[in-house]
Amino acid sequence: MAEQTPAESNGAAAPQQRQLALQKIYVRDASFEVPNAPQVFREDGQPQVQLNLSHKATPVGEGSYEVMLTLTVTCTLNERTAYLAEVQQAGIFGALGFPQDELNAILGSYCPNVLFPYARQIVSDLVQNGGFPPLLLQPINFDALYAEQMQRAAGDAPALNA
């Protein structure tokens, strides 16, 4: 005879247990360009590196989400592009039993935090294999970025009593 929990015995549904699992990490796309080679290797000057970063989450099944982190690194030397590296690092994450606001925080902060070290390594390898000095991207605080994004979204919301 199966035992019943108190919630089941009085007819109420038992709350769903929260589950978060990393199911897969993979490179969705990677590219590296040196548009001004070989002349760029002869130039002197101080390189300027710019990092652009974005992410998006897409449902891929019941309780599964593909999160894709895109890093685009552009290095200029004397106002000409030395190199351009772009990496789309993705992962499939299972997330069940979370309220929507917590799920949004997981997909917007936790998942990019997991993916970033993989993407950073690929960018570093691409740059070094492209003939340039190693590039070490500093850690990124995705929790702070997510909080800032939520503040901007709250500020853009129309006032109810205006």
CATH of the domain at 122: 3.10.420.10
Domains contained in the chain, number: 1
In a domain, 82, yes or no: yes
In a domain, 22, yes or no: yes
In a domain, 160, yes or no: no
In a domain, 162, yes or no: no
The domain of 94 spans: 17-137
**Could you give the CA distance from residue 114 to residue 25 in angstroms, rounded to a whole number?**
9
In a domain, 2, yes or no: no
Q: What is the pLDDT of residue 159?
A: 53
In a domain, 1, yes or no: no
Residue 155: pLDDT band by 50, 70, 90 thresholds? confident
Segment 64-115, tens digit of pLDDT: 999 999 999 999 999 999 999 999 999 999 999 999 999 999 999 999 999 9
* Alpha-carbon radius of gyration of the chain: 22
